[in-house]
Amino acid sequence: MIDKKNIIRLGLILLVLAVLTILNNTMGKYEIRILNLAGIYIILGLSLNVINGFTGLFSLGHAGFMAIGAYTSSLLTMSVIQKESNFFVEPIVPWLANVQIGFLPALLFGGILAAVLGAMIAAPILKLTDDYLAIATLGFSEIIRVIFTNTQSLTNGALGIKGLTRYTTVHYTWGIAILTILFMFSLRKSSYGKALMAIREDQTAAEAMGINLFKHKLLAFTIGSFFAGIGGGLLAHLMGTIDPLMFRFLLTFNVLLIVVLGGIGSISGTVISAIVVTIMLEWLRFLDGVIDLGFMTIQGIPGLRMVLFSLLLMVVIIFKQNGLMGRDEITIDSLGGFFARFRKKEA
């Protein structure tokens, strides 16, 4: 079916791709890194939004799922030599020593493993409500981190993995981000997406309408963990280094911040927020470091940046409980309406 909306949609995607290509060719290394991070945070934000926003389950385990994706894809893309130079304390387990596959299949594999483990972790705790589910998922995420710190011959333990090939480029991050956005809109529109939202609105009524709570909550967790795993893999191959400390609760906090600021349940809000928060997180790094004003330098204060962000989170949740955009979406229709009004004003 070719209708007007699809043409506009395709046009928009092409426009974004064109802008990205231009940015990719003109910007410096540091700016491109931020651009990549923004793409990754879009994927991560949307993945948490499926669980927290669509389904109304409060998960704090995202860093754990990301860790699974990051480690899996890294161990799969590393060459034999890379593995040998990393695993000097204890050699890597034999069945992984000689495996090396391409970046995309490795990412996919990381996502799938994160999804499978995510589903396995979620299954026994799905009946828990609100804050208990939050604490249990946080618990699992910490357990994953503790395990990764201790399995020397599998993850290289606390030393982490260094010198990963930096496969992650703007094409990968934004390409996957756009696919994720399309997936999310399609999910939202589908019968399954609506079933998830029914659970968010009223679990008892949803069940009485024949919705299998367990199956659908599990679905939300599986989707969320899959994309978290992909995001983790992209992050690993952007940084070039991973270690268990990277996947602390702080990482989940950053993703949660994006979803809350953007609008819990809003796809477009999460996307905008991911870009804005990533840029702010990087731009405000100066607060933690040295500020050079030309005529004088101010010693930055470590921690100040996160003070600002935690304040921001609290202010937004206190004054606008569903985040800045709530559950509203920017769609082609609403854009059309906006421009129509704009034109009227001009006339």
List, in order, residues 6 or more apart from 99 with CB less than 8 Å away. 75, 76
Among 16, 17, 104, 134, interactor with another protein by CB under 8 A: 134
Interatomic CA distance for residues 332 and 6, integer angstroms: 10
Which among 27-35, 138-146, 165-173, 338-346 is the span making contact with another protein, rule CB under 8 A? 138-146
Candidates 51, 176, 206, 258: give the one binding another protein (CB under 8 A).
206
Q: Specify the amino acid at residue 336.
A: G
Q: Which of 41, 58, 174, 221 binds another protein (CB under 8 A)?
A: 58
Q: Does the CA dihedral 109-110-112-116 come out positive or negative?
A: positive
Chain centroid to CA 332: 24
**DSSP 8-class letter at 31:** H
Q: Decide: is 302 part of the binding site for another protein (CB under 8 A).
A: yes
Q: Note whether 299 binds another protein by CB under 8 A.
A: no
3-class DSSP state of 253: helix
Helix (H) or strand (E) holding 298: strand 297-299
Residue given tokens 């290509």 in the structure block: 21
Q: Please name the residue that has the structure tokens 């020397």.
A: 152
The footprint of another protein on this chain (CB under 8 A) covers a number of residues equal to: 67
**Which lies closer to another protein via its Cβ, residue 207 or residue 282?**
207
Task: Between 102 and 303, name the residue whose CB sits nearer to another protein.
Answer: 303
Residue of 205, 245, 291, 332 that binds another protein (CB under 8 A): 205
**C-alpha separations of 195 from 189, 206, 264, 312 in Å:** 10, 8, 17, 32
- Of 68-127, binders to another protein (CB under 8 A) are 124-125
- Tokens 């995202």 correspond to 62
Min dist CB 319 to another protein, Å, is 8
The answer to the question of residue 333 lying near another protein (CB under 8 A) is no
Q: Which among 79, 95, 119, 342 has a CA at the least distance from the CA of 228?
A: 119
The region of 18-26, 42-50, 109-117, 203-211 touching another protein under the rule CB under 8 A is 203-211
Q: Which stretch binds another protein (CB under 8 A): 12-20, 42-50, 90-98, 309-317?
A: 309-317
* Three-state secondary-structure class, residue 290: strand
**Footprint on this chain of another protein (rule: CB under 8 A):** 52, 56, 58, 60, 124-125, 128, 130-132, 134-136, 138-140, 142-143, 146-147, 149-150, 183, 186-187, 189-192, 194-195, 197-198, 200-202, 204-213, 219, 249-250, 253, 256, 260, 301-304, 306-307, 309-311, 313-314, 317-318, 321, 327
